[in-house]
C-alpha cells in the first residue's frame, strides 16, 4: 500500500487546473464575456434617465405642418408630452414668452389629483387642448396626442416659459 503525501496531492490538483477540459474552458470564456462587458463596447456617456426609462414617440402634425410634439411613455403607462425641437414656436423671434394652461372650460394648472386612484384627474382625448404656448408673434395650441388622464402640469413652465 502506498501513502499519498501532501506533495503528491498538490501535484495532482495543479495538473487538473492546468489542463481543464476544452469544453469547460470554452464555457468559462463565454460566461466571462456575458458577465463582464468589454470596456471598448461601453458608451462614452451613460444614457440619460429619459433614454433608459422612457420610450420616445414623435407626433408630427399633418394638418398644421411644424406643430410637432413628442411623447415619452414609461412602462407604467405614464406619458410626458412636450413640444418637439422642430416646433414652429421655437423658431419664432423672441422664443416662447408664456405658457397658458387656462384653455377650454377650466384652468389645468390648478388641477389637484389625489389618492391611489387619481381622483379629480381630467380625462383627455388625443385632440384635447392641453395649453396655449405664446410667442411675440403668435400663439399655438398644444394637443394631448394620447388618450389618458391629466395628473399634473409642469408649474415651472408658467414661471419660466422660455426654458
Q: Tell me: the pLDDT tens digits for 123-163?
A: 999 999 999 999 998 999 999 999 999 999 999 999 998 77
Q: Tell me: the pLDDT tens digits for 24-38?
A: 556 667 788 788 878
* 150 is a domain residue: yes
At 131 the pLDDT is 94
Structural domain for 97, as ranges: 49-159
pTM: 0.71
* 93 is a domain residue: yes
The number of domains in the chain is 1
* 122 is a domain residue: yes
* 124 is a domain residue: yes
Closest residue by Cα to residue 107 from 84, 124, 131, 123: 131
At 88 the pLDDT is 93
Q: Tell me: the pLDDT tens digits for 64-104?
A: 899 999 999 999 999 999 999 999 999 988 889 999 999 97
Report yes or no: 148 and 78 within 8 Å, Cβ to Cβ.
no
* 1 is a domain residue: no
Amino acid at each position: 500500500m502506498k501513502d499519498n503525501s501532501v506533495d503528491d496531492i498538490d501535484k495532482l490538483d495543479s495538473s487538473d487546473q492546468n489542463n481543464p477540459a476544452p469544453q469547460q474552458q470554452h464555457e468559462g470564456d463565454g460566461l466571462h464575456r456575458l458577465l463582464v462587458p468589454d470596456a471598448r463596447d461601453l458608451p462614452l456617456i451613460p444614457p440619460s434617465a429619459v433614454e433608459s426609462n422612457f420610450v420616445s414617440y414623435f407626433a408630427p402634425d399633418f394638418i398644421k405642418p411644424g406643430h410637432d410634439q413628442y411623447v415619452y411613455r414609461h412602462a407604467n403607462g405614464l406619458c410626458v408630452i412636450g413640444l418637439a425641437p422642430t416646433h414652429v414656436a421655437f423658431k419664432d423671434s423672441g422664443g416662447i414668452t408664456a405658457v397658458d394652461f387656462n384653455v377650454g372650460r377650466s384652468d389645468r394648472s390648478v388641477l389637484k389629483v389625489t389618492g391611489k386612484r387619481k381622483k379629480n384627474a381630467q380625462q383627455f382625448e388625443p385632440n384635447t387642448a392641453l395649453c396655449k404656448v405664446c410667442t411675440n408673434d403668435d400663439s399655438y395650441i398644444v394637443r394631448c396626442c394620447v388618450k389618458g388622464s391629466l395628473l399634473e402640469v409642469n408649474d415651472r413652465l408658467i414661471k419660466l416659459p422660455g426654458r
